[in-house]
A and B are shown apart, each in its own frame.
Chain A
Amino acid sequence: MTKSLAENKKDLLALLGDSADIKKIPIQIGIGRDIECFITYVEITGGSLMFSKSVFGRLVKQLNEMTKEEVYESLSKNVLGITDITYFDTIEDALGGMFAGDVLILVDGFEKAMKIPDKGYPGMGVQEPQSEKVIRGSNEGFADSIKINTALIRKRLRTPKLKVREVRLGTRSNTNVDIVYMEDLVYPKLIGEVEKRLSRYEIDGVMDSGIIEQLSEEKWYSPFPQFQTTQRPDRAAMAILEGRIVVFSDNSPVGLILPTDYNSFIQTSDDYYNRWEIASFGRILRFLASFFALTFPGIYLAVTNFHTQILPTPLLLSFAAARQGVPFPAMVEVLLMEIAFELLREAGVRLPGAMGNTIGIVGGLIIGQAAVEANIVSPIVVIVVAFTALCSFAIPNEEFASAFRVLKFGFILLCSWLGFYGFLFGMLLVLIHLSHLKSFGIPYLMPFVGADLTGYEDQRDFVIRQPLFKITRRPVFAKRNQRVRLKRKG
């Protein structure tokens, strides 16, 4: 940039073109109104110049009471005390700042552009998270604005050791991406690795953290998420205290937690707010739920089509009696019901809230009952599919649960072809895959495996969540010499 407003303005307008939503306002400031200025901002993000409560309005008002020299001095030294002023040396950077939702000011005779926050882009405020509901604990959820999200973390972790690194991704979207971590707990290499992976691709636009997730994960073919997602600030703050990193993308209410493992996906925030017995019981249920969400329909097919000797005779005869008159093979019957259920789920998600609930009632009760009465499916299959659905809903993380829902179909096919052998084959395949899977170097199956890495300390917070006073050390994610998180005073 130069000191000449005309030149800077020319360059700026050349880049901006004629966008109708961008306000370009020339004004004159100073006590003699002898300094030319050029203000530009995205419509909506800037307030009225005359509005005394607007930051920008107050700035202009004050500058209008200064001499030319005073104006330059106060701009260069920020004597007006505007807390969030940013100076830019190039027009491109300045435009990036403006598109972040701030007001850009170019002043004749001043060789820098200034960005001053004003109203900013409209967005939703802090709301209750849609997923990861808890009975006990905070009801705050992340918002679309990255600044609100980092502030929500800061609100919970009031220490200078909490660091936020900001990068921009997307050549056209210029999306702010924040990397939040606890300086003394996280492995420095990990931060480097995260930054490396974020810069691995050049992408035109980042609309959500999901895009970052997919471009940064190691095994693209794995259905299992290698990042943990959360909409809960308390969950993210806890992860940071464990030595993990949280990545936020602007315009996304979902934070990415990394590294992660199977165990972390099964945990919920209120596991730590409830008594250990209750929390442990919940975890056992969720581990079982994850197993059955994957395998239950497959096991049903393997047992009824191949290994009938497993079931008690009265139960088996009931199954056989229930199947009488059903026109489809059991596999087709299960697949039909599973697909019907997935359709209901999809429809329930896409429809507005009240209608979504209606879909559940219509699908679950009316269609289910009608299908049984019409002898299209047997009642036992409805029970199997409903139980499987319950299990998949009991998994706290949606992305993680989706992996089980998808793989479930694989198990259905394997078990209907190969019976219990197919089940064992599938289990082994999934286990081998999981044992190969890593999230930023951490084995996915920690602490099922490699628990000795932390002297078996991680197993205190595993299927059984031991009493809090016993969980004295941070998990494997934290730096080796920074693992103590709880110690008795005196």
Chain B
Amino acid sequence: MFSKNNKISKRQVFRLLSYDILGVGTLLLPPLLGEASGKNGMAALLVGIFAGLVFAVLLGGVIESMREGETYPAFLKRNFGTFFGVVFGIFYIVYYLVLGGVSTYVFGHLIVSELLKEQSFYWITAGILLLACYGISQGIEGRARVYEILFWFLMVPLFLMLFLAARDVRTERLFPLFALGEGNFYTGCLYSFSLFSLCGFMLFIVPFAKEKEKVVSASLLAVLFCGGVMFVIYAILQGIFGLGSMISQEYPAVTLMSMVQIPGGFLERQDAIMVGIWFFTVFALISSSMFYLSENIASLYGGKKRGVSIFIGAVLLFGIAVGCYRSKEFMEKLLWIFLYWGTPVIVAIPLLTYFRDFFGNTKKTTVSLMMVLCMFLGGCSTTELENRKFPLAMGVDLDEESCRVSYKFQDLSSVADENANAGSGTDFYIKDKDFYTAISQYANDSNKEMDYNHMKVLVLSEEFIENEESLEVFLQICEKRALIARNTLLFTAEDAGKILALDKNLDTPVGTYLEEMIESREDYKLKDTVTLGDLINDKANEEQLLYIPVLKEEGGLPVIRGYYAMAGGVPKGEIGINEAMLSYLTQGKIEKLYFSMEDQTPVTVKRISAKRTYQGKNHTCLVKISLEASVEEDFLNEENANDVLSQRIGDEFYTQLKETGESLKDAPKVDFTNSFCRLGLSDKEAYQKYKGDMEGFLRGLGYAYEVKVNLVN
């Protein structure tokens, strides 16, 4: 009565196109764009969005000249004659083959790399293509309904995660917004436009749209919506990872989801759940490509037996996806074809018509096949919970040229027994020539599978950090194999194994103990605690100053007694707590600070705001600090009147900052204001000059301070 008309509404057109653009776009575009255009990526993205909008408007003209109910292939044949109509049809077939094939590869690869690490790529892609066949077997209506219903179910969690992630964005990483000589701007524009040119799908949607004239407005809306989302995602990715780290990752958007913490959240990490967004959106692009591909194939032989054309399309897409999986070169070649050949042709064909005009049961088989395939699905090698080991802390030491990895496991029997000592976990260490061999060896020797997903703390020995080769290998393994979560807290110690062995003195496992210790700190902001992800990012970006807490043993307990400075991914050496806190102070990362003045007057400092400005003219960093200080009533007297005390506190800070800044500049040679990473934001010229030269920047750098104290007693 209602639903057999094979027509879809404006809302459904909008959602269909949005899915097609967003899925692969959010996965692939950010690293590609960053690599091509550097910090101009955001500008290139904006150009691409604008070009997409213009393209959509131009296609509106083509749509106007299409007859009621006329399909796009039929329109091409009517306008250009049968021969050229067929030739154009073949162009479209190739285009959709490339697009669908690459999307299928991306889908399979995403699942294999993020969800099911040991599953067969072939079965996954074959299964999903069969599902797509089933999805499109009953025309466009069913497909449109699926995406219509899913839209907000997927978008709301995505927006929520982006909103939460936005808190961790370091705005200085986004600047300068447009820098001359940064990458190839035009290539970035092409990448970006190639994505938004997918709105050209609307030409094929026209005969199925309930109201033809609304297709264009739906497409414009889709480009605007996706453009907005893409822009936000790109900014967040660049702001959190930094350009270098973002480029080095395969799917940075997925990695981002593993790092976002939901406040008061029940879930530890939600990347596995959030992969669902790309599961559905990339599937949408696969099924769209397959649908339009089958439409084009069908148009070549008169449109009969559509099931056959769907089946042919699925087989071809499978072949291409497998080719991409087996050969990266093939995949890159296809991407090249898509970008430099497909996009221009896909733009040119409809515009040609525009200007010309201006101037003048297969389903049953599918289900059966699916069932047969399912029989062959071996499934993944599942590991039961009790057959896994959950290290809560890991220590890595260099020991006579070999690597010693120590683990601290939770004793499961103590979880069930409330009287047991929770800290009495089992520990183990293994030594081998490097980190990778050591953990692999342990994985082989162990009677259970190692599950690093719940590791709270990673303690690296100072010697290990200072050994460039070992650290490099370690970080590469962490990044490529995604073995350890990026938000694992990072510590350093003289002997990591010994720190982990303190577990026996604690009432909770050492991993949990250290995590709680950091969470209960009142001084610096929790989000500024250094994690493994920070170290990975900075190794790639080479622009940040990181302070890794140094653990020492005191009274049988692990305590933080210093910070290890890493500047631009290079180990610099240990500094004291006070120096680190002052450094954090200049960066506005301090929440609350307790300190004693020279006459031992205790002062509590809070509501601190700090602003760093680099003055290129005299190569100086001006640090303006304003804070609220309070002093115990007993210490207030005539000598310590409010205004006098404010002045004294200000002077004290000034002196300490000056001394610390200069001393850290000498050894361990770090800019304690961490201004280098903000150059793009504050001085574009200096950014171009010192790009990649942190040491050069430090040379001759001067500091100026303005401290404003508001005594609130």
Task: Please tell me if the beta carbons of A425 and B134 are within 8 angstroms of each other in the complex.
Answer: no
Residues A309 and B146 in contact in the complex (CB < 8 Å), given A320-B388, A429-B131: no
Instruction: Give CA–CA (A190, B377) in the complex, Å.
Output: 44
Tell me, rounded to whole Å, the shortest Cβ–Cβ distance linking A404 to chain B: 17
Q: Is A449 an interface residue (CB 8 A)?
A: yes
CB of B416 within 8 A of CB of A313, answer: no
Q: B384 touching A450 by the CB < 8 A rule?
A: no
Instruction: List which A440-467 residues lie within 8 A (CB) of chain B.
Output: 440-443, 445, 448-450, 452-453
- Is A205's beta carbon under 8 Å from chain B? no
Segment with Cβ contacts to B, from A66-74, A98-106, A416-424 = A416-424
B248 at the A interface (CB under 8 A): no
Given A308-B385, A450-B2, is A419 in contact with B454 using a C-beta cutoff of 8 Å?
A: no
Residues of B within 8 A of A441 (CB): 1-4
Contact between A453 and B2 (Cβ–Cβ < 8 Å)? yes
The distance in angstroms between the C-alpha atoms of A146 and B551, with both chains bound, is: 82
Distance of A165 Cα from B111 Cα, bound (Å)? 56
Asked if A173 CB lies within 8 Å of chain B CBs, one says no
**B261-269, B330-338, B574-582: which lies at the A interface?**
B261-269
B456 cross-chain contacts in A, Cβ below 8 A:
313
Determine which of B115, B148, B380, B454 lies in contact with A316 in the assembled complex, contact meaning CB atoms within 8 Å: B454
Interface residues as binary, A226-257 with B (CB distance below 8 Å gives 1, 0 otherwise): 00000000000000000000000000000000
Judge whether B148 and A432 touch: CB under 8 Å.
Answer: no
Q: What's the least CB distance linking B123 to chain A, in Å?
A: 9
Within the complex, the shortest CB–CB distance from B448 to chain A, in Å, comes to 10
A307-B272, A418-B116, A425-B127 as given contacts; A449 in contact with B148, CB under 8 Å: yes
Give the contact stretch, choosing among B53-61, B352-360, B407-415, B590-598: B407-415
Specify which chain B residues have a CB less than 8 angstroms from the CB of A436 in the assembled complex. 138, 142
- Residue pair B268, A322 in contact (C-beta under 8 Å): no
> Is the pair B415, A320 in contact by a Cβ cutoff of 8 Å?
yes
Instruction: State whether the Cβ of A476 lies closer than 8 Å to any Cβ in chain B.
Output: yes
8 Å CB contacts to A: which residues of B237-279?
Answer: 258, 266-273, 275-276, 279
B149/A448 in contact, CB under 8 A:
yes
User: Does B283 interact with chain A (Cβ within 8 Å)?
Assistant: yes
Answer whether residue B688 sits at the interface, using C-beta atoms and an 8 A cutoff: no
In the assembled complex, A115 has its CB within 8 A of some CB on chain B: no
Stretch of A27-35, A324-332, A389-397 on the interface side: A324-332
* Docked pose: A330 CA to B386 CA in angstroms: 10
- Across the interface, A311 reaches (CB within 8 A) one of B146, B268, B415, namely B268
Which residue of the partner chain, among A190, A316, A416, A476, contacts B382 with CB atoms under 8 Å? Answer: A416
A450 and B145 contacting across the interface, CB-CB below 8 Å: yes
A383 within 8 A of B: no
Q: List the A side residues contacting B258 at CB < 8 Å.
A: 309
Interface string of B1-42 (1 = CB under 8 A from A): 111100001111000000000000000000000000000000
Question: Whose C-beta in chain A lies nearest to the C-beta of B485?
Answer: A309
The verdict on A309 contacting B271 (CB below 8 Å), with A320-B390, A322-B416, A330-B384 known, is yes
- Asked whether any CB of chain A lies closer than 8 Å to the CB of B379, the reply is yes
Interface status of B392 (Cβ within 8 A of chain A): yes
> Which residues of B (354-393) have their CB < 8 Å from a CB of A?
377, 379-380, 382-386, 388, 390, 392
Chain A neighbourhood of B128, CB < 8 A: 425
Contact flag A308-B380 (CB < 8 Å), given A324-B412, A420-B273: no
Q: Which residues of A contact B135 (CB under 8 A)?
A: 428, 432
Residue with the greatest number of chain B CB neighbours at <10 A, chosen from A318, A416, A443, A449:
A449
Query: Residue among A189, A418, A419 with the most chain B CB within 10 A?
Result: A418
Alpha-carbon distance A319/B268, docked complex (angstroms) = 15
Q: Which of A306, A329, A428 has the most CB of B within 10 A?
A: A428
In the complex, what residue of chain B is closest to A330 when comparing beta carbons? Answer: B384
Closest to B410 in A: A317
Decide if A419 touches B134 in the complex (CB within 8 Å).
no
Of B273, B385, B386, which is in contact with the most chain A CB atoms at under 10 Å from its CB?
B385
A187 on the B face (CB < 8 A):
yes
Evaluate contact between B382 and A329: CB separation under 8 angstroms.
yes
Given contacts A309-B269, A316-B454, A317-B410, contact A419 B115 (CB under 8 A): yes
Contacts A320-B412, A321-B413, A418-B116; A309 near B3 (Cβ below 8 A): no
* CB-CB under 8 A for A452 and B272, given A313-B390, A319-B385, A418-B119: no
Assembly CA distance A281 to B124 (angstroms): 39
Q: Would you list which residues of chain A between 385 and 435 have a CB under 8 Å from chain B? A: 416-421, 424-425, 428-429, 431-432, 435
Once the chains bind, are A432 and B453 in contact (CB under 8 Å)?
A: no
> How far does the alpha carbon of A306 sit from the alpha carbon of B412 in the complex, in Å?
19
Task: Tally chain A residues at the interface, Cβ within 8 Å.
Answer: 55
Q: Given A308-B388, A308-B454, A424-B279, do A418 and B2 touch, yes or no (CB 8 Å)?
A: no
User: Closest chain B residue to A416 by CB distance?
Assistant: B382
Chain B residues positioned under 8 Å from A305 (CB to CB): 382-385
Question: Does A323 count as interface, using CB distance less than 8 angstroms?
Answer: yes
Within 8 Å by CB of A323, from B1, B3, B382, B384, lies: B384
- Asked if A25 is at the interface of the complex by the 8 Å CB criterion, the answer is no
Closest to A435 in B: B145
> Does B150 lie at the interface of the complex (its beta carbon under 8 Å from any beta carbon of A)?
yes
Q: Is A310 an interface residue (CB 8 A)?
A: yes
Are A420 and B275 interface neighbours, CB within 8 A? yes
Contacting residues, chain B, for A431 (C-beta < 8 A): 146, 149-150
Q: A310-B268, A312-B266, A450-B3 are in contact. Are A432 and B416 (CB under 8 A)?
A: no
Asked if B451 is at the interface of the complex by the 8 Å CB criterion, the answer is yes
B187 interface residue, CB < 8 Å from A? no
Q: Which one, A309, A321, A432, A453, contacts B272 given CB within 8 A?
A: A309
A438 located at the interface, meaning its Cβ lies under 8 Å from any Cβ of chain B in the complex: yes
Q: CB distance A442 to B3 under 8 Å?
A: yes
Q: B101-142 toward A: CB 8 Å interface, digit per residue (1/0)?
A: 000000000010001100100001001100100110010011
Q: Which of B9, B410, B485 contacts A452 (CB 8 A)?
A: B9
User: A64 interface residue, CB < 8 Å from B?
Assistant: no
Query: A309–B267 Cα gap in the complex (Å)?
Result: 8
With contacts A306-B380, A308-B453 known, is A421 near B111, CB below 8 A? yes
Bound-state CA distance A318–B11 (Å) is 46
- A304 adjacent to chain B (CB < 8 Å): yes
**Contact call A421/B385, Cβ cutoff below 8 A:** no
Asked if B563 is at the interface of the complex by the 8 Å CB criterion, the answer is no
Nearest CB in chain A: distance from B138 CB, A? 5
Q: Does chain A have a CB within 8 A of B613? A: no
Most buried by B among A311, A320, A443: A320
Task: With A420-B273, A440-B1 as known contacts, state yes or no: A317 contacts B390, CB within 8 Å.
Answer: yes
B272 lies within 8 A of A329 (CB) = no
Give Cα distance in the complex from A290 to B95, angstroms: 41
Q: B512 interface residue, CB < 8 Å from A?
A: yes
Q: Find residues 274-291 in chain B having any chain A CB closer than 8 Å to their own CB.
A: 275-276, 279-280, 283
Report Cα–Cα, A312/B272, bound state, in Å. 14
Partner of A310, one of B267, B390, B512: B267
Whole-angstrom distance between the Cβ of B362 and the nearest chain A Cβ: 14
Q: How far is the CA of A253 from the CA of B148 in the complex (A)?
A: 38
A312, B268: Cβ atoms closer than 8 Å: yes
Q: Which of B1, B146, B377 contacts A432 (CB 8 A)?
A: B146
Interface on B for A, CB 8 Å cutoff? 1-4, 9-12, 111, 115-116, 119, 124, 127-128, 131, 134-135, 138, 141-146, 148-150, 258, 266-273, 275-276, 279-280, 283, 377, 379-380, 382-386, 388, 390, 392, 410, 412-413, 415-416, 451, 453-454, 456, 485, 512
Known contacts A321-B415, A440-B1; 14 additional CB pairs below 8 A are A308-B385, A317-B410, A317-B412, A318-B415, A320-B390, A323-B384, A417-B377, A419-B115, A429-B131, A432-B131, A435-B145, A443-B2, A450-B9, A450-B148
22 contacts between A and B (CB under 8 A): A190-B1, A306-B272, A307-B453, A308-B390, A308-B454, A317-B390, A320-B388, A320-B390, A323-B385, A329-B384, A418-B119, A418-B380, A424-B279, A428-B279, A429-B134, A432-B135, A438-B4, A441-B1, A441-B4, A442-B2, A450-B2, A453-B2
The 7 A-B residue pairs whose C-beta atoms are closest, nearest first, are A441-B1, A417-B379, A309-B453, A435-B145, A307-B272, A321-B415, A449-B145
